A and B are shown apart, each in its own frame.
Chain A
Amino acid sequence: MPLLKIDGREIEVTGGTSVLQAALANDIEIPYYCYHPALEVVGSCRMCLVEVEGMPKLQVSCNTFVGDLPAERKVDSKYDMVVNTQNDLVIQERKNMLEFLLLNHPLDCPVCDQAGECYLQDYSFKYGNAHSRFEEEKRVRPNEYLGSQIVINHNRCILCSRCVRFTQEISGTSELYVEARGYDTKIAALEDKPLDNLLAGNVADICPVGALLSTDYIHKNRIWNLKKQPSICQDCSVGCNIDVFSQKDQVFRLTPRENQDVNGYFMCDIGRYGFHRFEEIERLTQPMVQKGETWEAIDWEEAIQKAADLMEKSNGKTAGVTSPYHTNETNFLLGQIFKDVWGSMPQILGEEITFPSGFRISADRSPNRKGMNDICEIIELDLDSEISSKAINGLYILDDGVDRELDDTWKKILEKMDFVIVQSYAMTDLAKLAHIVLPGLAPLEREGTMTNDRGRIQWLRPSLPVMGESKPDWKILSWIRKAMNKDEQDFTEINEVMKEMGEVFPAYKGLSFFRIGPHGLSLNGKASG
């Protein structure tokens, strides 16, 4: 393997790796703008210029590749390339490039969303000048909407062309283009073909400065106020890895987190903006029983006991309904309680979309169908007829949540039941038809594991605090189980649930959040179903 010497350090690299890639993989900082690992190399920003010994001019490290040299040409008889990234010449060049980039850049930091996570700010502090020598009139243009979700501030744009390359190579939709040339160059979209594809939100992420902004997030907060929590998107079965940015009890934005086995570097807009649908809903924060036309709030002990009593009285004629929106641990415990009859509601299907880069949005808009199928040994597909044939008179339902529209078949089933217990986080149409509602957590408050449709188990981490008296869904089921059978263990920690889950289902054996880690584990070949 070629040997690269960079700033005195010896690094072995795979042939064909660029100097920039080698540096980034080894924590050596080389500033850059136009380079992005998912996009074609253009080498246009000129920030990553480094000195390569033996070459007369400075070279852009993003487009300088290390290969094996024949022995007689190796430097000092061992190095295939010797690079300096921190000498005076290179540092001076960075200063010069930054000066050019900042010529027309407005002093917008106090009002720019990118502040705090801006490459221009960071590199200016490190390598730039404290003042501008530009005495001429600046090039000024008004902001423009490139699509319904993305606005461009032309004055901040450094023309790295990442956004244009994104729409050409990743989404394949080519809405963005470069207009004019030279000093008048700018990014544009045709008026009748705006940037409205389902990956559009990513261009605001990949923009290294505050030029492309998400209208959803614009001027709403500051990055330093926000808590960042790595988690998993719950809007389809792909299970993109994300970061959730929140402050106190409000989520402000979601951004993708890199995972080469799931979503690459990106996420879709359905997931990105989906968190808003949880914001304005009427939350359940107390256990409630139906009393005629009204609901009476009761405490947990009473609620659990009431529910257990109802189910004992039905003498095995209660069916459990799992949910592919819930975690493995929750579904597992439901399955342990209702060993005989259970199933799930009909699948909600959207459009399956695959982009040219391979990025996929699954038709299955629930996050954990595979996990649910793995953990539940029998899924009664036609729960409806099972209910009739086995004379089921009670249902314990894990509510899918605000995404579930109740159809007439199910409304009829529910009306026929002697009792319906619903575990939910909101007063959904389903919850309204229940006799007892037990308040669980909303999706962004939950913790547990979910298995995506490629058999990868991932760690769902909570981003928001629990509201009112709501409890984790697995905890509620643990209480129910204990109330129905005193000999059963009452779980206090979720990893205890995972342990038992692994004992019943060998494919899920030996799991822990630590082992699953930030990028998940592939269960392929091990999980059943």
Chain B
Amino acid sequence: MDNKNDLPISRRFFLKGLGAAGVTGALATLSGCKDAGKPSGGEGWTPQQYNAPGSWPVQVRGRVPIDPRNPSIVRDDRKCILCGQCTEACERVQSVEGFYGLPIKNDITCVNCGQCALWCPTGAISERDDISKVLQVIGDTNLHVIVQTAPATRIAIGEEFGMPAGSIVEGKMVAALKQLGFDRVFDTNFSADLTIMEEGTELVNRIKAAGTGHAQGGHGHAPTALPQFTSCSPGWVKFCEYFYPDLLDHMSTCKSPQQMLGSVAKTYYAKKKNIDPRQIVSVAIMPCTAKKFEAARTEMNSAGVMAGTPELRDVDFVLTTRELARMIKGKGIDLAKLDPQPYDSLMGEGTGAAVIFAATGGVMEAAIRSGYYLLTGQNPPEALLNLNAVRGLQGVKEAALNVPGVGELRVAVASGLGNARQLLDQIRADKQAGRPPRYHFIEFMACPGGCISGGGQPKTSVPPSDWVRKERLQSIYTIDAKLAKKRLSHENKEVMDLYADFLGKPNGDMAHKLLHTTYTDRSAHLTAKTKA
């Protein structure tokens, strides 16, 4: 052994060292300490109303369910702050959420009205974006892309460019659309007048049938039930299909102006201009999210059926007013600075009666103006051109008019589905009790105030407010009273030409094929309740 290599560690020193290490170790392990630090989670927040101890009831709670395949609206959870406004709009204003029993069936009960999107403060709920699809077809030189604009867009889209609420920007909007590259810019006002011709004729037939006891008009199975319901609001139509399918025979068989223009474009227009309907892409600018749903309804392919290509849609894409504004801004176009341009002919002429479709009560007024003419052969008196009884933001309005040779015409107007429900419950009760109908004709609009405050309109107030609605309504009536060249649908020349050259007569054979539709009983998809 070489002792020179031994380290000078004595046994005592070594043992002391071991002892010290041992004591430290023992202390450490004996501590076996239970302090665990902070648990993970719980650093965030929830809205105030959910933070009280206990389980107190909360008035506005949760949010609406949205099917991810909903064609009209989508939701971005990242932006959702659980404020509950969507629930308030859907349950209390529209009376949809909560009006069905649980458990659900295989459907999320939604009428696609988009009021939730209008109320959502963060834009978590918004319309499904179809801008890129439309840009794509515009860019395709082989396709002939036409666009139609609803009555309500021309008095609202200016707001997206900083203009005051209700600014009338019809010509500028047309100019912007032309600059975006649409091949033709048409006006839904044209087909609104067309709708009045069809629906007015249908109403006259129903009234006559009620008088004589059997159906009138070209078909043995023409509808006869009174009151007749308007059918241009797809959110309202779906609401009726869900909750009041027993009353669907009251629904006018007329399509909405959007869909009528769609089917006319791919038949009449295509023929007139010698364009292959399969090359035509039909886009609609609407104040409405439900119109996206409507354009996709399976039966909305009349032009295609007629041409032997049933996969051809009457309307291909629907953009909301908000989407159009984004599209225009995306191209760097300042709408406010554009010079006004006119609509293209063949389907670009509209009357004052057409433009008031945007207002609650407007369809009613327009129908009365031409209905009077259809019933009496005379144009309506001045007083009927400003029917205040059906104007304004009251939820349910009624009026009674004297039509010479016919008698009293009783009408009602409801906007907002909660208000519609009141009327419908009454009608249902009347029918069950065998009482005669209170009204001949009812205009129903899904959105409070009508299309001017539709689910796709600019969010100039959040939540939507009556002052904005009033400004827009005023502009609509201004266009009708002061700016429109004609105020009666039956005087629309382009519509007259359409009948003369192509359709024949209102409610006739051709009209039925292209301009009328059928409805679906959706009551099997839910367990309807009368109260939330």
Question: A and B bound?
Answer: no
A residues whose Cβ falls under 8 Å from a Cβ of B: none
